[in-house]
Structure 1
Amino acid sequence: MPRQLDDIDRRILKALVANGRLSNTELAREVGLSPSPCWQRVRRLEEEGVISGYTAVLDHEALGVGETVLIEVSLDRHDPEALEGFGKAMAEIPEVLEVYLMAGDCDYFVKVAASGTKGVEEFLRERLFPIPGLRHSKSSFSLRCLKKVTSCVPG
């Protein structure tokens, strides 16, 4: 069972989600603690796995891969080897941002950063279609992102 977060833990998490580069002093000031207890709480949240890491959020448009493509994938087999093989193949492709094993009409939902329609065609032809066991895929282009967060802090 997950540990219960108190109000101070939630404030720390919300502040770090908004700006993971805050110094401990800045974070402590923002959440109303002195630096030492704030540091101890952050370390505890890290040790407990509530905070699993820190990362930079990149602007894909600035990097030339501003198109987001959402791909539903179905495999021809569902044995552990086929599922593991597909998962490993996806993990090795840099432009694959997220992969979800699904229940429902498709087996996987894949989020890809691409450079326009040519980049999508190249991804499909050179990266996705050669994967053994692929039966079907259905691609949709995102027109605009209305909300994008990396984490949520439950109330």
Structure 2
Amino acid sequence: MSSLDRLDSELIKRLNTNARAGVAELAAQLGISRNTVHARLQRLENEGILKGFKPVIDLEAAGLSVQAFVGLELEQRQLPHVIAGLRSIPQVLEVTTQAGREDLLVRVAAATLADLQQAVASMIEIQGVRHSNTTLSVSTPLPFRVQPLLDHLSKDSGWGRSTALPG
């Protein structure tokens, strides 16, 4: 397991702000060499911390204003089959396993309530799904974020060199 320092956290923060920033731009912003930025980004990728650069999609602006979380309770030993079935449903954005009554939490987006209902119906038809529980998402006042946690974890670590973080 890698430990992140303040420089790693700051690089990630700046990439979250502008994923199109180049190595030279990041180096200038942070007051460090391009080689240092390149080496740090390469290490973060090699260690699997940075998983790539992807566009952030505003689902509502894309016409997918109905979003929900569907909890699925499964029959034992049916997880691989259910995951394969969920992969075939286009409205399924993400699936996580969880502890509790429901085994999976499925994030879904749809254009209409009827589309959502059809997606949930498709989930229920997958062999191995025992029960579903759907919760509509009304708004997202705090979208997924990781930067405050990274800043917290790296607050007592060094900057990777003897000079202070640029202002």
Give TM-score, length-normalised by structure 2.
0.82
1:143 corresponds to which of 138, 142, 148: 138
Larger Cα Rg: Structure 1 or Structure 2? 2
Q: Report the CA distance between 1:34 and its aligned residue.
A: 2.1
Choose 22-31 or 129-138, whichever is displaced more: 22-31
Please list every run of 5 or more consecutive structure 2 residues that lacks an aligned counterpart in the other structure. 153-167
Q: Return the alpha-carbon distance in structure 2 between the equivalents of residues 17 and 78 of structure 1.
A: 39
Q: Report the CA distance between 1:150 and its aligned residue.
A: 5.3
Please list every run of 5 or more consecutive structure 1 residues that lacks an aligned counterpart in the other structure. none
- Is the CA contact (8 Å cut-off) linking 2:124 and 2:131 kept in structure 1? no
Instruction: Specify the alignment match of 1:21 in structure 2.
Output: 20
Q: Return the alpha-carbon distance in structure 2 between the equivalents of residues 70 and 84 of structure 1.
A: 20
Q: Over residues 58-82 of structure 1, what are the superposed CA-to-partner deviations in whole Å (9 max), with x where a residue is unaligned?
A: 121122112111111112x211xx1
Q: Report the CA distance between 1:9 and its aligned residue.
A: 1.1
Q: Over residues 112-142 of structure 1, what are the superposed CA-to-partner deviations in whole Å (9 max), with x where a residue is unaligned?
A: 01112111112122x2122111111111111
- Is the CA contact (8 Å cut-off) linking 1:74 and 1:134 kept in structure 2? yes
- Is the CA contact (8 Å cut-off) linking 1:17 and 1:151 kept in structure 2? no
Superposition pairs of residues 13-52 of structure 1, within 5 angstroms: 13-52=12-51
Instruction: Specify the alignment match of 1:66 in structure 2.
Output: 65
Determine if the alignment matches structure 1 residue 131 to structure 2 residue 137. Answer: no
Q: Return the alpha-carbon distance in structure 2 between the equivalents of residues 30 and 132 of structure 1.
A: 53
Q: Return the alpha-carbon distance in structure 1 between the equivalents of residues 18 and 76 of structure 2.
A: 41
% identity of equivalent residues: 30
Give TM-score, length-normalised by structure 1.
0.88
Q: Return the alpha-carbon distance in structure 2 between the equivalents of residues 85 and 32 of structure 1.
A: 51
2:92 corresponds to which of 79, 93, 96: 96
SS at match of 2:93: strand
Instruction: Specify the alignment match of 1:119 in structure 2.
Output: 115
Q: Over residues 90-122 of structure 1, what are the superposed CA-to-partner deviations in whole Å (9 max), with x where a residue is unaligned?
A: 233332111111111211111101112111112
Instruction: Specify the alignment match of 1:109 in structure 2.
Output: 105
Q: How many residues align?
A: 150
Specify the code of the residue in structure 2 equivalent to 1:44: R
SS at match of 1:111: strand
